[in-house]
Amino acid sequence: MHRAWKDMAAMAAAGALSITMVLSGCASPANQAATGGSAKPAVAPVKIGAILSLTGSYAGLGAPEKRAIELEVKRINDAGGVGGAPIEVVVEDDATDAQKAVAAATKLIEKDRVVAIIGATGTGGTMAIRNEASRAGVPIVSMAGGSVITDTFDANTFQTPWPNRVVVAFTLKYLKANGITRIALLSDSSGYGKDGHDVTVKQAAAAGVAIVADETFNPGDTDMTAQLTKIKAAGPQAVWLWNAGKEAATAAKNLRQIDPSATIRLVGAPGNGRMEFITGAGDAAEGFTFAAGKILLPATYGAGTEEYKVATSFVDRFKTAYGVAPDIFAGHAYDALTIVAEALKKAGPGADGAKLRTAIEGTKGLIGIGGTFTYSPTDHNGLSEKDLVVYRVSKGTWELAK
Amino acid sequence: MHAAELLQFVIAGLKNGSIYALVALGFTIVYAATGIINFAQGEFYMLGGMVSVFVLGALKVPLAVAIAGGVALTVVVGALVERLALRPRRDAGQLTLIIITIGVSLLLRSVARHAFGANELSLPAFSPGPSVMFMGAAIERQALWVWAITAVSVVGLWLVYEKTSFGRAMKACSISHEAARLMGIDTARVVALAFALAAGLGAIAGAAVTPLTSTAFDVGARIGLKGFAAAILGGLGDFRAAVAGGLALGLVESLSVAYISSTYKDAIALVVLLAVLFLRPQGLFGRMAKEKV
């Protein structure tokens, strides 16, 4: 009798405590994006994981991705969530480190029981978490552009940026059309840099472009003068830089230093479509040419089109919330979250990983920021050269390259 | 290889080398006064650049004032690190103190990440303009500044150590704290000043390099490692050795890109460092430590 009384008291106390916690919403706010629209706490939120590089080399990429995710989670929840349930994104920082990305994936899968993972920010991180996610049957939508992510096919892994195989083919055509047939490669030793390097080496000859020098550097390096001196001696018409981090600005400045009259053009990749690159490189960024999606100049979507409306609506909301225009990385995060959210609407908020994976694979004609996504059982990227344009830096900003 | 190209490689090596040298000087100063390696030295370099950028943006003051502000604030941080983190545990043994400096470096990095954001930041060049051409090789104007700052720092340090009572007190501390204290030297003050001086040098280097390389909250770890390697390569505890070690490390890196491969640049530099330590444990230019009686 006495004992049963005690048990009941304990249960009542625990109950009261848990109700208080739910009402005050004190579930560890430290690293979680808000669920937003908390008016109806009755339905348990659908948890989605996000593995972002908020620190380390790719910190400048992870930060806009996190902003875009927070913005969109709030919008989706304010509009009623997915199938009546709100979504909640649990954000983990992988510090641009593949090992930490794996640890984050394990935590998201085992502890937070997420139904899908958005991420990672980088190619290396994405490749590292594929096994972990496949084993648990949790689909991944990556925001990294390495071709390897979808070339070495994994039924469970999807990709939102234009893969390097598409970017390289598109850029090579532009170079050839502009009479540039002798190029040098300057790539970093990260997953993205290596992937871009390898894809370029594979495609260049067939496109009629010769690679006359091939140099590398490490993420974190602060001077590439030596590599560029060697490159200059080989006499290329352009240097193709493969790097998505802060080193790109240094490379641009070093090139301008040893080639003051800018006889050698500097070419890059979508990973350089960040204002920080232009500010960091200053005058040395002038003339820098790279292919990327249309978000940098929304007019390129074609005014009045559905794509234009989706993009400008996102740009406006992002500007209102953060005071700056979104870059391509914010766009990749928007796309990744939208793809998962739309699939959840189709599969229902109670869907498990396998059902959700099938629903993501069924994505068809979804208008996003990076392009219009149509996945299939053999294509988990779904973008093509028509989603790209060539930009050229002029007077401290991007303009469409002629 | 043409002479102009070789000269360009040498210039690149000397440019990076003098940056390493400035950081190595910071290690040397603290080591000379305390006998410990201050692993937060790279963070002083980071703070010098980051705070200068922040002051320039927030207060809209001239560049020179912003950099003076950045360096001054870092000096204060350096002195505070000594006062708040190291002095309370100064009798705990060198290993404990070294571990404390590692903790301090992580703390400073996190604080900078939250205070200044994760993106890379940059400063305008001290004297903008195209590179200076010298016998067919291009030298960035900012590199001339870095060289000048290194030269002034070395001469300044030499004057402080040889001509002032503070310098003599530092020397005394490097031989024996106990004896220095018995001779009436305020050793705590000497150590605090050494930290402030090391922080100031690191900050000047960080601010001078920011126009060349941009900066970010996480640049300290890598430059700290390079500066440490340079200090070891030259021989810990001697200014001229630190500078020589820095220049040597920069040259080895640059020439290994020229003649071997850019892929193995860092590995080659480390192999050279190991080789030197096997053959000359006191460093290239260091004197063999004598048992002081």
Q: Which domain holds residue A230?
A: 164-292
Residues A346 and A266 in one domain: no
Q: What is the pLDDT of residue B36?
A: 87
A87 is a domain residue:
yes
Tell whether A63 lies on the interface with B, counting CB pairs under 8 A: yes
Mean pLDDT value across residues B160-185: 84
- DSSP-derived letter for residue B81 is I
Q: What is the pLDDT of residue A293?
A: 92
Q: Where are the alpha helices (DSSP H) in chain B?
A: 3-34, 41-59, 63-80, 94-116, 141-163, 165-175, 177-182, 187-213, 220-234, 239-259, 265-279
Q: What is the pLDDT of residue A349?
A: 87
Segment A174-220, tens digit of pLDDT: 999 999 999 999 999 988 899 999 999 999 999 999 999 999 998 88
Q: What is the pLDDT of residue A379?
A: 92
A305 is a domain residue:
no
A401 is a domain residue:
no
Residues A16 and A151 in one domain: yes
Residue B115: both structure tokens together = 């205070």
Residues A172 and A135 in one domain: no
A259/A263 Cα distance (integer angstroms): 7
Q: Are B159 and B147 in contact (CB under 8 A)?
A: no
Give the residue carrying structure tokens 């690149």.
B12
Residue A30 predicted with pLDDT over 50:
no
Maximum mean pLDDT: which of A370-379, B125-134, B264-273: A370-379
For chain A positions 1-40, those within 8 Å of chain B (CB to CB) are none
Q: What is the mean pLDDT of chain A?
A: 88
Residue A351: both structure tokens together = 């869907």
Q: What is the pLDDT of residue B106?
A: 94
Domain edges within chain B = 3-279
Residues A190 and A97 in one domain: no
Q: What is the pLDDT of residue A31?
A: 46
Residues A31 and A135 in one domain: yes
Segment B229-240, tens digit of pLDDT: 999 998 887 888
Using pLDDT thresholds of 50, 70 and 90, give the confidence band for residue A32: very low
**How far does CA A34 lie from the centroid of its chain?**
20
Residues A131 and A248 in one domain: no
- DSSP-derived letter for residue A284 is G
Q: What is the pLDDT of residue A23?
A: 43
CB contact under 8 A, B120 and A56: no
Residues A257 and A270 in one domain: yes
Q: What is the pLDDT of residue B289?
A: 54
Mean pLDDT value across residues B98-116: 92
Using pLDDT thresholds of 50, 70 and 90, give the confidence band for residue A402: confident
A79 is a domain residue:
yes
Q: What is the mean pLDDT of chain B?
A: 88
For chain A positions 202-221, those within 8 Å of chain B (CB to CB) are 215-218, 220
CB contact under 8 A, A279 and B122: yes
A303 is a domain residue:
no
B50/B69 Cα distance (integer angstroms): 11
Min Cα distance B105 → chain A (Å) is: 15
Length of chain B equals: 293
Sheet containing A116-119, strands listed edge to edge, beginning at the edge strand earlier in sequence: A87-93, A46-52, A116-119, A140-142, A157-159
Q: What is the pLDDT of residue A9?
A: 54
Q: What is the pLDDT of residue B291?
A: 45
For chain A positions 283-342, those within 8 Å of chain B (CB to CB) are none
Tell whether B165 lies on the interface with A, counting CB pairs under 8 A: no
A306 is a domain residue:
no
Residue A328 CA: distances (Å) to CA of A271, A272, A275, A325, B287: 8, 9, 11, 10, 55
Segment A365-388, tens digit of pLDDT: 999 999 999 999 999 998 999 999
A392 is a domain residue:
no
Q: What is the pLDDT of residue B91?
A: 81
Min Cα distance B28 → chain A (Å) is: 23
Residue A29 predicted with pLDDT over 80:
no
Using pLDDT thresholds of 50, 70 and 90, give the confidence band for residue B188: confident
User: How many structural domains does chain A have?
Assistant: 2
Maximum mean pLDDT: which of A9-23, A154-168, B226-240: A154-168
Mean pLDDT value across residues B37-48: 94
Give the residue carrying structure tokens 């469970």.
A156
Residues A50 and A179 in one domain: no
Percent of chain A exceeding pLDDT 70 equals 90
Q: What is the pLDDT of residue B264?
A: 85
- For chain B, the first-to-last Cα distance in angstroms comes to 54
Question: By CB neighbour count within 10 A (0-12 exposed, 13-18 middle, 19+ buried), where does A216 fall?
Answer: buried
| CA atoms in the 13 A half-sphere facing the CB of A229 | 29
In this complex, the residue of A55, A218, A220 whose CB is nearest that of residue B113 is: A55
Residue A28 predicted with pLDDT over 80:
no
Q: What is the pLDDT of residue A10?
A: 55
Residue B52 predicted with pLDDT over 90:
yes
Give the residue carrying structure tokens 């390129």.
A300
A5/A2 Cα distance (integer angstroms): 5
**At a CB cut-off of 8 Å and minimum separation 6, what does B188 contact?**
B87, B90
Residues A156 and A21 in one domain: yes
Check which CATH number belongs to the domain holding A365 and give it: 3.40.50.2300
Residues A40 and A102 in one domain: yes
Higher pLDDT, residue B129 or A46: A46
pTM of the model: 0.80
- For chain A, the first-to-last Cα distance in angstroms comes to 87
Integer Rg of chain A from CA: 23
Residue A9: both structure tokens together = 């008291």
Q: What is the pLDDT of residue A204?
A: 95
Tell whether B16 lies on the interface with A, counting CB pairs under 8 A: yes
Q: What is the pLDDT of residue A13?
A: 53
Using pLDDT thresholds of 50, 70 and 90, give the confidence band for residue A20: very low
Quick one: residue A119, left, alpha or beta (phi over 0 = left, psi -120 to 50 = alpha)? left
Segment A292-335, tens digit of pLDDT: 999 999 999 988 899 999 999 999 999 999 999 999 999 999 99
Give the residue carrying structure tokens 């993501």.
A360
Tell whether A55 lies on the interface with B, counting CB pairs under 8 A: yes
Residue A261 predicted with pLDDT over 90:
no
Residues of B in contact with A218 (CB under 8 A): 265-266
Residues A10 and A152 in one domain: yes
Relative orientation angle of helices B220-234 and B265-279, to the nearest 10 degrees: 30
Residues A144 and A190 in one domain: no
Using pLDDT thresholds of 50, 70 and 90, give the confidence band for residue B70: very high
Segment A93-131, tens digit of pLDDT: 998 899 999 999 999 999 999 999 998 999 999 999 999
Q: What is the pLDDT of residue A172?
A: 96
Mean pLDDT value across residues B181-200: 88
A399 is a domain residue:
no
In this complex, the residue of B118, B140, B257 whose CB is nearest that of residue A63 is: B118
CATH architecture for residues B3-279 = Orthogonal Bundle (1.10)
Residues of A in contact with B17 (CB under 8 A): none
Percent of chain A exceeding pLDDT 90 equals 71
Beta bridge partners of A158: A141
Higher pLDDT, residue B240 or A357: A357
User: Coil, strand or helix: which one is B69?
Assistant: helix
User: Coil, strand or helix: which one is B215?
Assistant: strand
Q: Are A279 and A223 in contact (CB under 8 A)?
A: no
Residue A44: both structure tokens together = 């348990």
Using pLDDT thresholds of 50, 70 and 90, give the confidence band for residue B292: very low
